[in-house]
């Protein structure tokens, strides 16, 4: 049975890739993921704001109070060297690359085209096999038109593509007015892959303390419906690989995503909830299902249920909505 797939020009032994999460922070965990069967790893994100914030914060607090009072011209010793910026992240790429055999996909998270784009090149130099670009952009400015938002994505992508030679996937928000059009613009701008979707952290409200509570809620399996639809629609309409992410918990979820047209399926919440061994379980279940249903390869099913190939293309559109509503009563 052939579970191999390709993604961003990388040959992967199967379609299960743990997505960007704290799991990749520990070397041991990544080794365990590899042992469990993961075919590649997307590293935790290097955040543009975090880098800027850390540098500004450190500078501020080390200087704060200095040269203000005769007895204490400073409050901290000055180390010979600070490892600021992406140093720690890059070092981690190097460590991962020497510790595991599976491809390592670095993740870059930001919205501007400033100096931080250079980090992409540094990631490549550190050994990253590809870059997942996460343009986490919440458009709150009423003056911004949808085209402006799309331009942000395109500009950042172009800047990164100009900086590196390794493949670049872009993680998208589901909130584009015309997803297929936007996806194609991004592919034209050089995207080698589309990752669907970015699940923005959704803040909660603490009604007792009247506070916004930005806590993370792990995804649930039914959330995969959203990417599933768009993968199915996009498949064949864009010349780029597709990664499914959000709500992939089981072999069925993996198979559905592949059938919709994904090259790989990214798991995160399932692993955080059930442990890294979940990869093995899902892989085994995929194998069993394929055996039972006499599939020989993953490629055989990829895109088979996309809008292009499925028996009822309209089901992914408005007609589907009507049908669902009717079935509810």
Q: Which residues bind another protein (CB under 8 A)?
A: 51-52, 54-85, 88, 115, 210-211
Of the pair 80, 325, the CB lying nearest another protein is at 80
Of the pair 83, 239, the CB lying nearest another protein is at 83
Could you tell me which residues come within 8 angstroms of residue 167 by beta carbon, excluding any fewer than 6 positions away?
8, 9, 10, 129, 130, 131, 192, 193
Tally of CB atoms within 10 A around 175:
14
Of the pair 81, 326, the CB lying nearest another protein is at 81
Q: Are strands 5-7 and 10-12 parallel, antiparallel or unpaired?
A: antiparallel
Of the pair 51, 238, the CB lying nearest another protein is at 51
In the complex, what is the shortest distance from the CB of residue 211 to another protein, in angstroms, rounded to a whole number? Answer: 8
| Rounded-to-integer distance, Cα 199 and Cα 76, Å | 40
| Closest listed residue to residue 108, CA positions, set 27, 37, 166, 26 | 166
In the complex, what is the shortest distance from the CB of residue 308 to another protein, in angstroms, rounded to a whole number? Answer: 46
Chain centroid to Cα 41, Å, comes to 10
Q: Is residue 254 within 8 Å of 15, Cβ to Cβ? A: yes
Could you tell me which residues come within 8 angstroms of residue 98 by beta carbon, excluding any fewer than 6 positions away?
none
In the complex, what is the shortest distance from the CB of residue 83 to another protein, in angstroms, rounded to a whole number? Answer: 5
- The CA–CA distances, whole Å, from 14 to 29, 30, 235 equal 19, 16, 19
Find the helix or strand (DSSP H, E) in which 97 lies. helix 87-99
In the complex, what is the shortest distance from the CB of residue 21 to another protein, in angstroms, rounded to a whole number? Answer: 19
Of the pair 60, 318, the CB lying nearest another protein is at 60
Of the pair 70, 329, the CB lying nearest another protein is at 70
**Residue 229: both structure tokens together:** 């639809």
| Closest listed residue to residue 320, CA positions, set 201, 226, 214 | 226
Of the pair 54, 223, the CB lying nearest another protein is at 54
Of the pair 73, 288, the CB lying nearest another protein is at 73
| Rounded-to-integer distance, Cα 23 and Cα 273, Å | 11
In the complex, what is the shortest distance from the CB of residue 144 to another protein, in angstroms, rounded to a whole number? Answer: 22
Of the pair 207, 329, the CB lying nearest another protein is at 207
In the complex, what is the shortest distance from the CB of residue 112 to another protein, in angstroms, rounded to a whole number? Answer: 11
Could you tell me which residues come within 8 angstroms of residue 100 by beta carbon, excluding any fewer than 6 positions away?
30, 31, 34, 41
In the complex, what is the shortest distance from the CB of residue 19 to another protein, in angstroms, rounded to a whole number? Answer: 25
| Rounded-to-integer distance, Cα 221 and Cα 244, Å | 13
In the complex, what is the shortest distance from the CB of residue 80 to another protein, in angstroms, rounded to a whole number? Answer: 5
Q: Is residue 266 within 8 Å of 244, Cβ to Cβ? A: yes
In the complex, what is the shortest distance from the CB of residue 13 to another protein, in angstroms, rounded to a whole number? Answer: 33
């Amino acid at each position: 049975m052939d579970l191999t797939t390709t993604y961003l020009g990388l040959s992967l032994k199967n379609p299960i890739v743990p997505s960007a999460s704290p799991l990749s922070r520990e070397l041991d965990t990544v080794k365990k993921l590899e042992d469990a069967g993961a075919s590649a790893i997307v590293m935790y994100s290097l955040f543009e704001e975090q880098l800027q914030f850390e540098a500004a914060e450190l500078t501020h607090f080390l200087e704060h109070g200095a040269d203000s009072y005769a007895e204490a011209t400073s409050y901290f010793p000055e180390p010979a060297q600070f490892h600021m910026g992406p140093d720690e992240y890059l070092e981690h790429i190097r460590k991962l690359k020497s510790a595991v055999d599976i491809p390592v996909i670095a993740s870059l998270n930001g919205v501007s085209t400033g100096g931080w784009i250079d980090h992409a090149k540094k990631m490549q130099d550190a050994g990253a096999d590809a870059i997942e670009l996460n343009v986490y952009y919440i458009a709150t400015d009423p003056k911004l038109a949808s085209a402006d938002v799309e331009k942000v994505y395109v500009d950042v992508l172009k800047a990164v593509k100009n900086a590196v030679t390794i493949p670049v996937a872009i993680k998208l928000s589901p909130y584009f007015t015309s997803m297929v059009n936007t996806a194609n613009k991004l592919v034209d701008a050089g995207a080698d892959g589309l990752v669907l979707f970015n699940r923005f952290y959704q803040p909660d409200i603490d009604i007792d303390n009247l506070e916004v509570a930005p806590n993370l809620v792990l995804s649930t399996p039914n959330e995969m419906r959203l990417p599933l639809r768009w993968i199915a629609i996009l498949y064949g309409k864009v010349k780029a690989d597709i990664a499914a992410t959000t709500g992939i918990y089981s072999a069925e979820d993996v198979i559905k995503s592949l059938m919709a047209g994904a090259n790989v399926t990214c798991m995160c919440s399932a692993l955080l909830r059930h442990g890294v061994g979940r990869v093995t379980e899902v892989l085994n279940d995929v194998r069993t299902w394929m055996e039972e249903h006499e599939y020989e390869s993953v490629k055989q099913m990829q895109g088979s249920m996309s809008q292009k190939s499925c028996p009822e293309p309209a089901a992914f559109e408005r007609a589907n909505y009507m049908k669902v509503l009717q079935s509810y009563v």
